[in-house]
Structure 1
Amino acid sequence: MNGIINVLKPPGMTSHDVVDFIRRTFKINKVGHTGTLDPGAAGVLVVCLGRATRAARFITGDDKEYRAEITFGVVTTTGDSFGEVIDERDASRLTAEAVKASLPVFTGEISQVPPMVSALKWHGKKLYELARAGMSIERQPRVVTVHKLEYIDGTGWSCPNPVAFVHLTCSKGTYVRTLCEDIGDYLGCGAHMSFLVRTRVGVFHIADSYTLEDIKLFAVAGKTEHNFSNMVIPVEKALLGLPPVKVKSAAVTAVSSGSKLYLPGVAELPDGLTEGVLVRLQGPEGLLAVAKTDLDPDDTSRFVFKPVCVLV
C-alpha cells in the first residue's frame, strides 16, 4: 500500500501513537507522519504509507492552519494546559478589543524562542525528553512567518481568566503555544494555549480528514462497502504545489533509476523556472520523482533536472 492518509488525530494520543495504529491496522512497516502534532492537540496529521514516506520531507515544509484557544492570566511550565501553573494574574481588565489590537504585532515575520517541550534536537536528544528529565537549555530565537492571525471569538471578559479563540495560517516551525504566551506577555497578563486544533497542512484540510474509527472500518470491511475509495491519496496530490516537468517515455527508465534528466528527454516545461527550484517529474503514467532544477554545465542557457527523491 502506497499513498497518504489525512488523519484526524484525537487529543490524548501522540503522533507516533497514530503512526503505530496505522502500521498495525494495515499490517505495513513503512509508515511515517509529516509533522508532529502535540499529544493534547487535535486535527490534521498527514500520514505517509509505503513509498510515499520518501516524499514526507517535501510535505513537512507546507504552510499550516490552526484554531487556538488562549486562556489569559495563567502561565504554565509548558505553555499549554498540561503544564504546572507557575504564575496567576487577574486579567479581568482585558478586553476583546485589546486582544484584537495585539494581533497585528504577531503577524508577518516574527522571532520565537522554541519551547523546551518541542521536538527540536540538542546533541541528539529531543528537547521534550530533556524537559521531562528536568533539564532546561538555552535556545536561540528563530524567525517564522505568521501569514494571517484572526480573532474568532472570546468569553469571560471581566472575569479573572478570559478566553479568546484565534485562527492562524503560519509557516513551518511556528510554535503556537509560544505565540499564545507571547500575546499574553504583550498584553501584560500572561497566557497559555488551552487547546489547539490543526485545520490544514498544505493541501490537506480537516474537512477531508478521517478518524481512527473510519480507518479501522476501512481496513476491516474494505473501501468499496464503506465508500472510502479516496482515503488513501496518491502522493502526487500532496506535491501539486511543485511545478510539473513532463518526461518523454524514452527517458522514464533513466529517471526512475535516479539519473539526471536533460532537455532532450523533456516533453514539456512549465513557465518561469529558475535554478534551484524543486519540480515534480511526470511520466506518461504518473509521478516519477521530485527533482532539483540546475543549469546544464555544457550549456548554461538550458536546465537539467537531478532527481532528489525517486517515487517509483
Structure 2
Amino acid sequence: MKMGILAINKAKNMTSHDVVAILRRKLGTKKIGHTGTLDPIATGVLPMCIGRATKLSQYISDLGKAYIADLEFGKETSTYDCEGEVINISDKQIFTKEEINKELNKFKGEISQVPPIYSAIKVDGKKLYEYAREGKEVEIKARKVTIHDIKLLDLNANKARIYIDCSKGTYIRSIVHELGRNLGTYAFMTDLQRVKVGNLSIEQTVDIFDIDKYSSEELYNLIINPEDVLDTLPSFVVDENIRFRLINGQRINVKDIKKSEKIQENTLTLVFNNNDFLGLALRKDNILKMEKLIWQE
C-alpha cells in the first residue's frame, strides 16, 4: 500500500473523524489518520496521513497554516462564531478599511492569545467546552502564537473578510473577537476556510464530496510523498552502513558520519539513503538517532 499524504478539502458540518471514516471505507485500510482537528464550522485543507505516514501526523500538524475568515461587526457570541448565542450587541458596526487594517497590523508577530472557552483544549484532563456547557468557570492560560501575515481582503457594510497566515495552535475566532474589542465594538466569525497547511494549498485538495468519483487507485495516485510535505525541514543523505544502523535502532556518534557538520543539533532532519526516505532523525549531544522510522523493506 502506498503511504503518504492525501490533501482533503473538508466540508462544513463535518468532523475530521468523519473524513477518516470515509477514507477508510474508500481505500479499504484502517491505517489512516488526520493531522489535527478542523472545527466542524470550518472547511478547507485537511492533510490525511495514509499507511506508515500516520507516524508523521504530529509533525505535519506542527506546520504553519493559512486561513480566510468571514466576520461580522456589532455582535458578540458565546463561542466567538456563528454557532454560539449572541451575548452582546453594539450599534458601532461600520469601519473604514484603514481603521480595520490599522488594528489587524497590531496582531503581526508573536502574540499572546487566550483560547476561547468553547474549544477542545484540556485543563485538568477536561475539555474547555465541557466546563462551558456546565457553566463552570476555569482559568484559561494565554499562550504564544505567531501571526506571519494578516490583512483585510474585503469589506461590505458591517461584514469583512480577512486572510491570516499563522503558526499552529492559533485560534482565528479569538483574533476576530479581539479585533472587534480593539475597534470598540464586538465581532464574531461567520465562516472559516483553511487555505494552506505547510506547502499544501487548497488547489491541491480533493473535495470530500467528490471522493466517490474516484477509484481507490486514482486516490492512491494523488497521495503526496511525506518528505515533500515536510520539505521545510533540513535533510541529509547517509551511506548504506549508517542506513543499516539507523533502521536497526542504533544511536550513532556523528564522528562516524561523513559531513556530519551539516546535521543541525536539536533539529529534526529528514534522512535519506540514495532516493529512499528513511524518516526523521534528531542529533542531540552529537548523537544521531531516528525519531520516526518510515522506511520499510
Q: TM-score, normalised by structure 1?
A: 0.88
Which amino acid letter does the alignment assign opposite residue 85 of structure 1? V
Q: Identity of counterpart residues, as a percentage?
A: 37
Distance 2:79 2:121 in 1: 15
CA shift, 1:263, in A, is: 4.0
Unaligned runs of 5+ in 2: none
Assess if the C-alpha contact under 8 Å between 1:65 and 1:168 holds in 2: yes
CA distance 1:167–1:65, shift in 2 (3 Å)? same
Alignment of 1:139-178 (within 5 A): 139-156=140-157, 162-178=158-174
Moved more, 17-26 or 262-271: 262-271
Q: Which runs of 5+ in 1 are unaligned?
A: 157-161, 297-303
Relative to 1, partners in 2 of residues 1:230 and 1:269: Cα closer, same or farther, differing over 3 Å?
Answer: farther
Q: Which residue of 2 aligns with 1:238?
A: 229
2:206 partner SS: coil
Distance 1:229 1:115 in 2: 38
Q: What is the Cα deviation at residue 120 of structure 1?
A: 1.2
CA apart distance, 1:92:
3.9
> Corresponding residue for 1:258?
249
1:274 aligned partner, one-letter code? Q
* 1:293 has 2:294 as partner: no
Tell me what 1:72 maps to.
Answer: 73
Q: Where does residue 282 of structure 1 map in the other structure?
A: 272
Q: Tell me which residue corresponds to 2:238.
A: 247
Does the 8 Å contact 1:8/1:206 carry over to 2?
Answer: yes
CA–CA distance in structure 1, aligned partners of residues 192 and 153 of structure 2: 14
**Pair 1:270–1:48, CA change in 2 (3 A):** farther
What is the rounded CA distance, in whole Å, between the counterparts of 1:268 and 1:22 in structure 2?
42
Q: CA deviation at 1:215?
A: 2.9
Separation in 1, partners of 2:207, 2:242: 41
Match of 2:178 among 179, 182, 187: 182
Is 1:308 equivalent to 2:291 in the alignment? yes
Distance 1:103 1:39, change over 3 A: same
Indicate if the aligned counterparts of 2:73 and 2:94 stay in contact, CA closer than 8 A. Answer: no
Spell out the pairing of 1:1-312 with structure 2 (5 A cutoff). Answer: 1=1, 2-156=3-157, 162-219=158-215, 222-223=217-218, 230-263=221-254, 266=257, 271=262, 273-296=263-286, 304-312=287-295
Counterpart-to-counterpart distance in 2, 1:263 and 1:275? 11
Greater alpha carbon shift after TM alignment, 277-286 vs 128-137: 128-137
Residues 65, 199 of structure 1: 8 Å contact kept: yes
Instruction: Tell me the secondary structure at the aligned position of residue 69 of structure 2.
Output: strand
**Superposition deviation, residue 12 in structure 1:** 1.0
Distance of 1:268 and 1:4 partners within structure 2: 31
The worse-fitting range, judged by mean Cα deviation, of 96-105 and 66-75 is: 96-105
SS, match of residue 106 in structure 2:
helix
Q: Secondary structure at the match of 1:103?
A: helix
Distance in structure 1 (CA, Å) of the matches to 2:230 and 2:261:
15
CA shift at 1:213, angstroms? 3.4
Q: CA deviation at 1:154?
A: 0.6
The change in CA–CA distance for 1:153 and 1:86 in structure 2 (over 3 A counts) is: same
CA distance in 2, matches of 1:217, 1:134: 45
| C-alpha distance in structure 1 between counterparts of 2:105 and 2:37, whole Å | 27
Q: What is the aligned residue count?
A: 294
Q: 1:246–1:210: structure 2 CA closer, same or farther, 3 Å change rule?
A: same
Instruction: Report if the CA contact (8 A) 1:246-1:267 is conserved.
Output: no
Q: Comparing 279-288 with 90-99, which one deviates more in the overlay?
A: 90-99
Kindly indicate whether the alpha-carbon contact (under 8 Å) linking 2:66 and 2:196 is maintained by their aligned counterparts in 1: yes
1:208 shift after superposition? 0.6
Q: CA deviation at 1:211?
A: 0.8
In structure 1, C-alpha distance between the alignment counterparts of 2:251 and 2:205, rounded to whole Å: 37
